A and B are shown apart, each in its own frame.
Chain A
Amino acid sequence: MTAPSSSTTQITNQVGLTKADYKGAPSTLCQGCGHNGIAAQIVTACYEMNLLPEKVVKFSGIGCSSKSPTYFLGRSFSFNGLHGRMPSLALGALFADHTLEAIGLSGDGDTASIGLGQFKHLVRRNLPMVYIVENNGVYGLTKGQFSATAEKGLYLKKQGTNPFLPIDIAMEALVSGATFVARSFAGDPKQVKELIKAAIAHDGIAVIDIISPCVTFHNHENSFHSYSFGKVHEEPLHEISLVLAREEITVDDFETGEVREVTMHDGSTVILKKLENEYDPTDKWQALRTLEEAANNNWLLTGLLYVEPNAPTLFDKYNLPDTPLNRLPAEKLRPVRETLEKINAMMF
Chain B
Amino acid sequence: MNLNRMIENDFCITFSTINGSGSATANITLMRALFRMGIPVSGKNIFPSNIQGQPTWFTLRLSKDGYLARVQEDDIVVAMNPSTIGKDIDALVSGGVLLIPDDFKINGEIRTDIVLYRMPVRKLIREANVSPQLRDYVANMVYVGVLAHLLKIDMDKIYQALDFHFKSNQKAINTNFDVVKAAFEWATENLEKKDRYITAPMKGTEDYIMTDGNTAAALGSIYGGMQFAAWYPITPATSLAETLNEYLPKLRIDEATGKETYAVVQAEDELAAIGMAIGAGWGGLRAMTSTSGPGLSLMTEYLGLAYYAEVPVVVWDVQRVGPSTGMPTRTSQGDLTMVNFISHGDSQMIILIPGSVNECFEFGWRAFDFAERFQTPVIVLSDLDFGMNQWITKKFDYPDLPMDRGKVLWEDDLEKMLEKNNGVWGRYLDIDGDGIPYRTVVGNQHPKSGYFTRGTSHDEFANYSEDSVVWEEVFARIAKKFDTAKKELPKPEILLQPGAEVGIISSGSADPAVIEARDLLKAEGLRTDYLRIRSLPFSDEIKKFIESHKEVYVVEINRDGQLFQLLTMEYPDIANRLRKAAHMDGLPLTAKWIKNKVLAKEEK
Interface residues of A in 320-342 (CB under 8 A from B): 320-322, 324-328, 330, 332-335, 337, 339-340
Closest chain A residue to B447 by CB distance? A3
Contact present for A85 and B442 (CB under 8 Å): no
Tell me if B118 is interfacial: C-beta within 8 Å of chain A. no
- Given A88-B279, A117-B269, 13 further pairs, Cβ under 8 A: A2-B445, A53-B447, A77-B442, A81-B302, A85-B272, A88-B230, A89-B276, A92-B282, A97-B442, A325-B227, A325-B263, A340-B398, A348-B209
Q: Contacts of B211 on A, CB cut-off 8 Å?
A: 347-348
Closest chain B residue to A120 by CB distance? B268
Closest chain A residue to B258 by CB distance? A319
Closest chain A residue to B274 by CB distance? A88
Q: Contacts of A95 on B, CB cut-off 8 Å?
A: 227-228, 263, 265, 279-280, 283, 285
> What is the CA–CA distance of A15 and B291 in the complex, to the nearest angstrom?
45
Interface segment out of the listed A68-76, A166-174, A190-198: A68-76
Tell me if B491 is interfacial: C-beta within 8 Å of chain A. no
Tell me if A57 is interfacial: C-beta within 8 Å of chain B. yes
Contact present for B279 and A92 (CB under 8 Å): yes
Known: A326-B442, A335-B251, A347-B210. A82 touches B279 (CB 8 A): no
Tell me if A99 is interfacial: C-beta within 8 Å of chain B. yes
Q: Which 5 residue pairs are nearest across A and B when measured between Cβ atoms?
A: A96-B283, A92-B279, A88-B275, A333-B225, A326-B284
> Among A80, A92, A324, A334, which residue has its beta carbon within 8 angstroms of that of B276?
A92
Interface residues of A in 234-255 (CB under 8 A from B): none
Contact present for A92 and B445 (CB under 8 Å): no
Tell me if A91 is interfacial: C-beta within 8 Å of chain B. yes
> Among B227, B280, B445, B453, which residue has its beta carbon within 8 angstroms of that of A333?
B227
Q: Contacts of B301 on A, CB cut-off 8 Å?
A: 82
Q: How far is the CB of B159 from chain A (nearest CB, A)?
A: 14
> What is the CA–CA distance of A233 and B155 in the complex, to the nearest angstrom?
84
> What is the CA–CA distance of A3 and B449 in the complex, to the nearest angstrom?
12
Tell me if A259 is interfacial: C-beta within 8 Å of chain B. no
Known: A70-B464, A80-B455, A343-B396. A334 touches B275 (CB 8 A): no
Closest chain A residue to B449 by CB distance? A54
Q: How far is the CB of A167 from chain B (nearest CB, A)?
A: 18
Q: How far is the CB of B37 from chain A (nearest CB, A)?
A: 13
Closest chain A residue to B208 by CB distance? A347
Contact present for B403 and A334 (CB under 8 Å): yes
> What is the CA–CA distance of A97 and B282 in the complex, to the nearest angstrom?
11
Q: List 11 A-B contacts (CB under 8 A).
A: A85-B302, A88-B267, A88-B274, A95-B280, A99-B443, A117-B268, A118-B268, A321-B254, A332-B261, A334-B223, A334-B399
> What is the CA–CA distance of A1 and B274 in the complex, to the nearest angstrom?
33
Closest chain A residue to B252 by CB distance? A335
Q: Contacts of A81 on B, CB cut-off 8 Å?
A: 275, 279, 302, 305, 455
Bitwise, B395-417 to A at CB < 8 A (1) or not (0) is 11011001101000001000000
Contact present for A96 and B284 (CB under 8 Å): yes
> Among A69, A79, A321, A348, which residue has its beta carbon within 8 angstroms of that of B282?
A79
Interface residues of A in 90-106 (CB under 8 A from B): 90-97, 99-100
Interface positions of B (Cβ within 8 A of A): 32, 35, 161, 164, 209-211, 215, 219, 222-228, 230, 247, 251-252, 254, 257-263, 265, 267-269, 271-287, 301-302, 305, 365, 395-396, 398-399, 402-403, 405, 411, 440-447, 449-456, 464
Contact present for A100 and B452 (CB under 8 Å): no
Count A-B contacts at CB 8 Å: 216
Closest chain A residue to B304 by CB distance? A82
Contact present for B271 and A88 (CB under 8 Å): yes
> Among B210, B258, B271, which residue has its beta carbon within 8 angstroms of that of A85?
B271
Q: Contacts of A97 on B, CB cut-off 8 Å?
A: 283, 442-443
Q: How far is the CB of B401 from chain A (nearest CB, A)?
A: 11
Contact present for B209 and A344 (CB under 8 Å): yes
Tell me if A187 is interfacial: C-beta within 8 Å of chain B. no
Q: How far is the CB of A25 from chain B (nearest CB, A)?
A: 8
Contact present for B455 and A93 (CB under 8 Å): no
Q: How far is the CB of B443 from chain A (nearest CB, A)?
A: 4
Contact present for A93 and B279 (CB under 8 Å): yes
Contact present for B403 and A330 (CB under 8 Å): yes
Contact present for A319 and B260 (CB under 8 Å): yes
> What is the CA–CA distance of A325 and B264 in the complex, to the nearest angstrom?
13
> What is the CA–CA distance of A320 and B259 in the complex, to the nearest angstrom?
6
Known: A82-B301, A93-B279. A76 touches B450 (CB 8 A): yes
Contact present for A91 and B284 (CB under 8 Å): no
Q: Contacts of A76 on B, CB cut-off 8 Å?
A: 450
Closest chain A residue to B357 by CB distance? A347
Q: Contacts of B441 on A, CB cut-off 8 Å?
A: 77, 96, 326
Q: Contacts of B284 on A, CB cut-off 8 Å?
A: 96, 326
Tell me if A52 is interfacial: C-beta within 8 Å of chain B. yes
Known: A53-B450, A82-B305, A85-B271. A93 touches B280 (CB 8 A): yes
> What is the CA–CA distance of A263 and B452 in the complex, to the nearest angstrom?
34
> Among B209, B442, B447, which residue has its beta carbon within 8 angstroms of that of A93?
B442
Bitwise, A1-42 to B at CB < 8 A (1) or not (0) is 111000000000000000000000000000000000000000
Closest chain B residue to A59 by CB distance? B279
Contact present for B279 and A91 (CB under 8 Å): yes
> What is the CA–CA distance of A344 and B205 in the complex, to the nearest angstrom?
13
> What is the CA–CA distance of A339 and B222 in the complex, to the nearest angstrom?
12
Q: How far is the CB of B148 from chain A (nearest CB, A)?
A: 18
> Among A326, A332, A334, which residue has its beta carbon within 8 angstroms of that of B443?
A326
Looking at B252, B283, B444, the one whose CB has the most chain A CB atoms below 10 A away is B283
Closest chain B residue to A2 by CB distance? B445
> What is the CA–CA distance of A228 and B268 in the complex, to the nearest angstrom?
40
Closest chain A residue to B454 by CB distance? A80
Closest chain B residue to A315 by CB distance? B263
